[in-house]
Chain A
Amino acid sequence: MGTLEAKELTFSYEDTPILDNLSVTVPEGKITVFIGGNGCGKSTLLRSMARILRPQQGTVLLDGAGISQLKTKEVAKKMSILPQGPSAPEGLTVEQLVRQGRYPHQGWLKQWSPQDEEMVQEALTATSMQDLGGQPVDALSGGQRQRAWIAMTLAQGSDTLLLDEPTTYLDMAHQVDVLDLLFELNETEGRTIVMVLHDMNMACRYAHHLVAMQDRDVYAEGRPEDIMTESLVQHVFQMNCHVAADPLFGTPMVIPHGKGRNANGTVSAVRAE
């Protein structure tokens, strides 16, 4: 359960093409990260897979069925989405927010059940938010707020979680905190996680599967160790860099060329040729 696949997606805003006949398969039970330059369409791809946007052509298959044919609540039971910079009404508490995650399981005649309550409590515990349930969401720190939103998506009880830039606006400590949480959710519960990240080094550290986008299509995909090279960064970001192994994790680490101070005492660091 939890396979997600985009087939020959084409999407344009007005006359601007964003995705051109793009296909990608998300490996089940792994963390997949979309990277690419600004405006390369990575968010559009994620939003199309989340059926927030409707592509002009192509289909997104969830467990083998086209999501545009499925009932929207059925999709929501299998796949949760956390959009970029989500906003909650003023004064809403964490627990009230997380309860909203049960929306797809509610019906006109279906009452709030003990199982709903259990899922909410589990989601709060999994995100270490159990002591903050009564706090208003807008009073939390950026990292806690993101945890609260992730808790809401967990309460949906889906196997697949899509996140659009979940670490934007967070300081580095909170970024690591949020990504660690997602990593744990993948490790312990085998959830499929798909996200857009800006930070290539974080992407390489947490992703099992990296999808680099360029020119409205997938430029390369695979394990970060296999695909993250200087030439990829040059093609995808038009930036010269040096790729080294992360001294702590051994995953690829991108060090951009360019100007800057040089603590080694030489005149300047390696410049772009």
Chain B
Amino acid sequence: MKRLGNAPLGTFSLKTRTNRVLLLLFLAAVAACMLGPSLGNTMLSPLEVIRAMAGDGEGANEFIVMNSRMPRTLVSILVGAALGVSGALLQGVVRNPLAAPDIIGVTGGASVAAVAFLTYTSGSVSIGWLPGAAVTGALVVASLTYSLAWKKGVTPIRLVLIGIGIAAVMSALTTFMIVVSSKVTASSAYLWLTGSIYGASWEDIFAMLPVVLVLTPAALLLAGSLNAQQFGDDTASGLGVRIQVHRFILLFISVVLAGTAVAAAGAIGFVGLIAPHIARTLIGRTFGPVIAASAFVGGLLLFGADLAARTIFYPVDVPAGVFTAAVGAPFFLFLLYRNRNHF
């Protein structure tokens, strides 16, 4: 699948650096899947993990692995991958390395919907509907941003400017609802807004898996178009890119990926911004490999953040979003500093 979006580099072979890096990232992700369930307050050997998964382990181990560590590991990797791909696509579409899923209103929309859900339906509707509300919010607000930015087509700069305005409105709405809500609701809203994988379940995995497995290859099919779009709209359309159609599809993929990620894990920040940067540093600027690498890097980043979140301050389970922000915010400032000549 990878090589489809990467046609100029030829078939998959380990002769190219790009493919070697992708293979290493893939192996690292597999290693994370195996390590995740064994690391924690009670250390388990890989053998014990496998026995627990096969239903053949000690009762306590089986519970820890199957109900806590395994879902958390898989959800963190899937959510991180979704955010990484979403960020890579968005940065490509708006041709700005500082773009993140937040700027087209995904996180803002999901947050307003989630906090409104917590504030106004507390108790009366099952909490199981929260992810659905968040995805809907993300889609509605992203569509609003897109339509407000439309004027005979959508240009990157209008999208970014409208996105910033919408994000401000959403953040005001969120704050307003938290202020007027009860203490209990406010604290659960805060937890959601920081982003946490604490309550990860197998349902989250089954919700995330098809989205990531379908939309990432779909995005790879448009990688060539993204490469051409980097030259600007005029050159790209001269090359035969259907700019507005491709831009819409890419934004749609980006929004759905980020929306489902946010629905599963809350408003986890900075992964969508940083993962594509690390991917580009490792692998260059060609979009096919960058999209694939962003998925792996995003997954590994959030896996690391969640692992730190649940082990370092044990028995306190710190929200993973705290760690992504602690690493991400300074990184964002560094990017601004490094790009200071471009603004």
Known: A87-B231, A110-B7, A112-B10. A103 touches B224 (CB 8 A): yes
In the complex, whether B282 has a CB less than 8 A from a CB of chain A is: no
A240 touches B (CB below 8 Å): no
A104 adjacent to chain B (CB < 8 Å): yes
Q: Are A112 and B4 in contact (CB under 8 A)?
A: no
Q: For A88, list chain B residues within 8 Å (CB).
A: 230-231
Q: Mark A39-77, 1 if CB is under 8 A from B, else 0.
A: 000000001001110000000000000000000111111
Say yes or no: is B228 at the interface (Cβ < 8 Å to chain A): yes
Are B235 and A108 neighbours in the complex by a CB distance under 8 Å? no
Contact across chains for A81 and B234 when beta carbons are under 8 A apart: yes
Chain A residues with CB under 8 Å of B230's CB are: 88-89, 92
| Selected contact of B240 from candidates A52, A96, A104, A108, CB within 8 Å | A104
Residue B227 CB within 8 A of the other chain: yes
Bound form: Cα–Cα A89–B240 in Å: 19
Bound Cα distance from A91 to B97, whole angstroms: 14
Interface residue ranges of A189-205 to B (CB < 8 Å): none
Interface flag for B128 (CB, 8 Å): no
Task: Across the interface, name the chain A residue whose C-beta is closest to B286.
Answer: A96
Instruction: Say whether A82 faces chain B, with CB atoms less than 8 Å apart.
Output: yes
Which residue of chain A has the shortest Cβ distance to B10 in the bound complex? A112
Among B10, B231, B238, B242, max chain A CB count under 10 A is at: B238
Q: In this assembly, does A256 line the interface, its C-beta being within 8 Å of a C-beta of chain B?
A: no
Complex-state Cα separation, A109 to B220, whole angstroms: 12
Cβ-defined contact, B240 with A103, below 8 A = yes
Are A50 and B4 touching (Cβ within 8 A)?
A: no
Query: Of B3, B4, B221, B237, which contacts A52 at CB under 8 A?
Result: B237
- Interface presence of A86 (CB below 8 A): yes
- B198 to chain A: closest CB distance in Å? 40
Per the 8 Å Cβ criterion, residues 77-136 of A in contact with B are: 77, 80-83, 86-89, 91-92, 96, 99-104, 106, 108-112, 116
* Closest chain A residue to B285, Cβ basis: A89
Asked if A72 and B240 make an inter-chain contact with CB atoms under 8 angstroms apart, the answer reads: yes
Cα–Cα, bound, A81→B232 (Å): 13
Q: Which residues of B contact A75 (CB under 8 A)?
A: 240
The answer to whether B240 touches A92 (Cβ under 8 A) is: no
- Contact B228 A100, beta carbon cutoff 8 Å: yes
B14 within 8 A of A: no
What are the interface flags for A218-239 relative to B under an 8 Å C-beta threshold, 1 for contact and 0 otherwise? 0000000000000000000000
Contact B231 A80 (CB under 8 A): no
A156 at the interface (CB under 8 A from B): yes
- A50→B238 contact, CB < 8 A: yes
Cβ contacts under 8 Å, B228 to chain A = 100, 103
Given known A-B contacts A87-B231, A89-B230, A91-B285, A108 and B238 have beta carbons under 8 A apart? no
B39 at the interface (CB under 8 A from A): no
Q: Which residues of A contact B224 (CB under 8 A)?
A: 103, 106
CB pair B285–A92 under 8 Å, yes or no, is yes
Please list the residues of chain B having a beta carbon within 8 angstroms of any beta carbon in chain A. 3-4, 7-11, 221, 224-225, 227-228, 230-235, 237-242, 285-286
